[in-house]
Structure 1
Amino acid sequence: MRITATTRSPGAALAVLAGAQFTVMLATSIVNVALPQIRDGVGLSDSGTTWVVNAYGLAFGALLLVGGRAADLLGRRRVLLAGLAVFGAASLAAGLATSSPVLIAARALQGMGAAALAPAALALVMDLFPPGPGRGRALGVWGAVSGAGGAAGVLLGGALTEAMGWQWIFFAVAIGTLPVLVGTVAGVPPATVTGSGRFDLPGTTTVTLALTALVWGLTTARRSGWTDTTVLGAFAVTSVLLTAFVLVERRHPNPLLPPRLFRAGRVTVGNALMALLGSVWIALFFFLPLYQQQVLGSSPLVTGLGQLPLAAANMLGSTLAPRISRRIGATATVTAALLTEAAGLLWLSRIGAHGSYAADLLGPGILIGLGLSIAFVQLTTLSVEGVARQDAGLAGGLVNTSRQVGGAIGLAVLATLAGTATARAAVHQPQPEALTAGYRIAFGVCAAVLLSTAALAPLLTRRTATGPSGASPSPAPQPAADRRH
């Protein structure tokens, strides 16, 4: 991608782009602790309440690839601005909603805006910072704000709900979007359209519908069970649509997912491991607040405050990740990070019904924050390494899709396992003990997934011989530890 205007300050532009990522992560987590109040405020049923979360996640996960490709073809700054505008307007509409259909529709529109702005912002970061230490530091900032946004969502969600009402969690996101929008206009340089050829409408349609059916089936399975006919039907539709997508892509002259993308660097393995990390990530921030509120009896505000040490560790790990990678190599960095996070989750799997924050959550939270952030930064780097500039937006959309879809699968499976364990324990134990039994199972399985992912990390050393254009790639400089493999 060729920048058409002189970059006034890459650091200032990075701050704006990181702010865009912060707002996406904030909107993802800010509703979690306010769901009971939202349910009462707009008259939702228990099953309907889940769609306040699912509508956002469904639109976000299904449209990320489309958003990434649109950024490549139409211009990344242009798509970022459009995504921010839609995102902010939808956030305002959600806060003003007085009925459940309007609220859920606004959340879906919010997810659509996020699906446009997230890959466009990441692609712009890659353009501003070429491969090397500078890009590593920039992606470290990206990881830090991602973790901070998730933790800030829990904290702000609790504080605003208690002090001003649930509507203000959406107003806060809308207000936060405005300076990012202004900063993008003022501080992010315009760029030319980089992609060539026509937009792949058949491929876009089939893969979007496939992802929609998959995420919808997974979220429904958490409530209705895996053998429900509608869930099985959704999975069957997903299989048919994915098959159609593969067939369409083979014949299209400008496919949505060109083969060159998967021949670049370590894109395939990086995305596979990101999906596994995502399966744990989203589940962790689903179950942890539930344990704090339903078992330990914490208020929404105290629950949010409890996320601060984890957020601080996350920001520290994101800052250290590029430095650690340069010293010991990408593979060793990812492996060590996954093992650190797994250790924290194993610690969490020993929580008790009569535990305390200091004894049961503080230490594990710090380990998890460090491991999660370092792994996220490194896997993001690997997932976009060696990608041709004209495909940077698509690569950003793909890695976000991998994390989001992996998270949807992981949460659906873990919610089923936790629910089954809780139901069995409830036969002969009080509710706090029964709930804790389910959460212990969820955290233990998360740890096992991460240990398995760490075992796959050596695959990161495998490189393809050809780059995105069929020539030898020119990857980012690597430390001696990685070059020896």
Structure 2
Amino acid sequence: MTSTPGTANPPAATATAPDPRRWWALAAVATGQLMVGIDMTIMNIALPSLQRSLHLSDPDRAWVITVYALGYGGLLLLGGRLSDLAGRRRALLAGLAGFALASALGGAAAGLPALLAARALQGAFGALLTPSVLATLAATFATPAERGRAFGIYGVVMGSSSGLGVVLGGVLTDYLDWRWCMFVNVPIAVAAGAGVLYAVRPVPRAPGVRVDVTGAVLATAGLMALVLGFARAEPDGWGAGTTVASLAAGIVLLAMFAFTETRVAVPLLPPRVVLDRRRGGSYLAVLGLSAGMFAALFFLTFYLQNVLHYSPVRAGLAFLPLTAGLMAGVRAVSPLLMRARVRSLLVPGLAVVAAGLALLGTVRTDSGYWTHVLPVFLLIGLGTGWVLVTANSTATLGAGADTAAAGAAVMTSQQIGASLGTALLSTVAGTAAAAHLRAHPGKVPEAAVHGFGVASLGAAACLGAMAVVVFLITGPHGAQRE
């Protein structure tokens, strides 16, 4: 990887007075991103109720989650380029309006086809919105102190959205109806859109922006195939034809995409973005973090409801310490963003998440929430906040015209990591649980928890190894913030 040192105070930024509405702009775009993040998990707890309401089979039920991940993860890179093409403000408004409309259609869906179409549209408009959010933050907050605070707040929002989605999904499903897990996005999008109209200034479209059609087709198809393969691996098995074909197609298409990007004048994802040592290490850190974090959240959702017998609302509230840990991590790392080496920020964050996964690996059926589960949430939240703030700030620092694409690559890494972690570690957990059940017939809860423990310890080891790789990639040359 080559090195491109970042600049804490770009000349253009220091010559321009700060926008007096910049904190309102942060509130608006963070609210929009919170909505997108919540929808990654809000339907999880609602699935049993939804399945009964629409008379779905188990495979059909799984597609409600998968199709959102396909639309969002597959279109993020294209969304970054469309943000440049249309302009950040227009892309924000289009993303919010489209997400609200898709949510209303999903809430009113009378059957599976309409619901899946709505979920796919949610993912697509979310993929347009997210790169514009990051580009807006990078352009609005250029001074080191304010940049650290702004990305710290954004990191709390993005990192806590999954846990808040579980809480909100449980409350809405218990006290209203699963459809409100979709309808709730409409007022959130309206509030965020009003904030964007008030606080985000229109900016001229970047000159010379064109859509790399070949790259867009290859990247979108490749990412969708990869996400689909990971999503189907857990229910269908890694050896199933759909899983193998999807993963193979994804790898081939993304390899073709990488080759194409070195041959076109205006690439969808310029190679210089990924080959920068700081950004490359950040993307890898987010990939590993997301794999471990989302698998842990999946395991803990099952553990709280099926082993400790928590209600959906109580299980959702049990996730709140995750947000407390996130806020602590963000508060600790934000002042260091412009002063410390990238690797000295990313590596400790990954190590803390690995420690949380290792602790999760020791949980048993008779473990208590306060002595075992709560510390897991705090550690994973602390490390997640630490890594996400660092990665998002690093990816967009000094990126110039590549800001939207660089920010989209962070979220693409997160989405692929989440899909990979959930699929791979669920398979490991299922295999270990089956072996335990054969050795101890009738011990179903014990077998499930044993499987989660094996998978969590394996994830902790992998994340520790990834921390070493990130350390090597991001330093010593070019790793210092200047």
Normalised by the length of structure 1, the TM-score is 0.91
Aligned residue pairs, count: 467
Compare 452-461 and 144-153 and name the one that shifted more. Answer: 452-461
Q: CA deviation at 1:404?
A: 0.8
Which one of 392, 395, 401 corresponds to residue 403 of structure 2? Answer: 392
Whether the aligned pair in 2 keeps the contact of 1:144 and 1:314 (CA below 8 Å) is: yes
Instruction: Tell me if the contact between 1:5 and 1:189 (Cα under 8 Å) persists in the aligned partners.
Output: no
Report the more deviating stretch, 293-302 or 268-277.
268-277
Deviations 1:206-256 (A, max 9, x none): 111111111111111111111112222222322332233234333322111
- Asked if the contact 2:209–2:266 (Cα under 8 Å) also holds between the matched residues in 1, the reply is yes
**Aligned partners of 2:430, 2:418: CA distance in 1, in Å?**
18
SS class of match (1:194):
coil
Q: Name the counterpart of 1:81.
A: 93
Look up the match of 1:417: 428
Report if the CA contact (8 A) 1:75-1:191 is conserved. yes
Match 2:160 to one of 113, 138, 148: 148
Residues 60, 115 of structure 1: 8 Å contact kept: yes
Q: 2:414 aligns with which of 396, 403, 407?
A: 403
CA change 1:204–1:464 in 2 (3 A) is farther
Q: Kindly state the Cα deviation for residue 147 of structure 1 after the two structures are TM-superposed.
A: 2.4
Q: Secondary structure at the match of 2:474?
A: helix
Task: Identify which of 64, 88, 110 aligns with 1:98.
Answer: 110
Aligned to 1:432: 445
Taking a change above 3 Å as real, the CA distance of residues 340 and 198 of structure 1, as seen in their structure-2 partners, is: closer
Letter in 2 for 1:128: T
Query: Between the two proteins, what is the percent identity of the paired residues?
Result: 36
Task: Confirm or deny: 8 A CA contact 2:262 2:271 kept in the other structure.
Answer: no
Deviates more, 1:14-23 or 1:421-430: 421-430
Out of 262, 265, 275, the residue aligned to residue 287 of structure 2 is 275
In the TM superposition, what are the counterparts of 1:4-43 in structure 2 within 5 Å? 7-43=19-55
Counterpart in the other structure of 1:470: none
Q: Tell me how far apart the structure 2 counterparts of residues 203 and 325 of structure 1 sit (CA, whole Å).
A: 33
Aligned to 2:351: 339
Question: Of residues 309, 325, 348 in structure 2, which corresponds to 1:313?
Answer: 325
Q: Which amino acid aligns with 2:125?
A: G
User: Residue by residue, what CA displacement relative to the aligned partner does 1:253-274 show, whole Å, maximum 9, x if unpaired?
Assistant: 2111223323546222221222
Question: Equivalent residues in 2 for 1:204-223 (5 A)?
Answer: 204-223=216-235
Gaps of 5+ in 1: 466-474, 478-485
One-letter identity of the residue aligned with 1:262: V
Cα distance in 1 for residues equivalent to 2:214 and 2:176: 46
The CA deviation at 1:99 is 0.7
The residue aligned with 2:475 is 461
Deviations 1:334-367 (A, max 9, x none): 2222222222221111111122211221122112
Q: Residue 203 of structure 1 aligns with which residue? A: 215
Following superposition, the deviation at residue 39 of structure 1 comes to 0.9
Letter in 2 for 1:450: L
Matching residue within 156, 165, 170 for 2:182:
170
Q: 2:474 is aligned with what amino acid?
A: L
1:5–1:96 CA distance, 2 compared to 1 (3 A): farther
Alignment partner of 2:363 out of 321, 340, 351: 351
> Shift of the alpha carbon at 1:327?
6.5
* Residue type at the aligned position of 1:394: A
Which among 254, 261, 281 is matched to residue 266 of structure 2?
Answer: 254
CA distance in 2, matches of 1:363, 1:264: 35
Structure 2: tracts of 5 or more residues without a match:
1-9
- CA shift in 2, pair 1:77/1:462, >3 Å: farther
Q: Is the 8 A contact 2:364 2:446 kept in 1?
A: yes
TM-score (normalised: structure 2):
0.92
Residue identity matched to 1:86: G
* CA distance 1:76–1:325, shift in 2 (3 Å): closer
**Matching residue of 1:133:** 145
| Residue pair 2:215, 2:267 contacting (<8 A) in 1 also | yes
Q: Structure 1 residue 179: deviation in Å?
A: 0.2
Q: 1:65 aligns with which of 56, 77, 81?
A: 77
> Does the CA contact (< 8 Å) of 1:144 and 1:316 recur in 2?
no
2:60 — aligned with what? 48
Deviates more, 1:445-454 or 1:260-269: 260-269
Q: SS of the counterpart of 2:364?
A: coil
Whole-Å separation in 2 of the counterparts to 1:270 and 1:385: 12
Q: Answer yes or no: is the 8 Å Cα contact 2:339–2:481 preserved in 1.
A: no
Quote the offset at 1:126 in angstroms.
0.2
Aligned to 1:443: 456
Q: What's the offset of the Cα at 1:128?
A: 0.2
Q: Which amino acid aligns with 1:461?
A: G
Contact 1:266 1:462 (8 Å CA) reproduced: no
Q: 1:392 to 1:131 in 2, by over 3 A?
A: farther
Q: Secondary structure at the match of 1:347?
A: helix
AA paired with 2:198?
A
Match of 1:227, SS state, is coil
Contact 2:282 2:346 in 1 (8 A): no
CA gap 1:261/1:363 in 2 versus in 1, 3 angstroms: closer
Matching residue's letter, 1:419: G
In structure 2, relative to structure 1, the CA distance for the partners of 1:233 and 1:328 (3 Å cut) is: closer
> Quick check: 1:369 aligned with 2:354?
no
Q: 8 Å contact 1:73–1:193 — kept in the other structure? A: yes
2:119 aligned counterpart, secondary structure:
helix
Q: Distance in 2 between matches of 1:6 and 1:259?
A: 32
Which residue among 121, 134, 144 is the counterpart of 1:109? 121
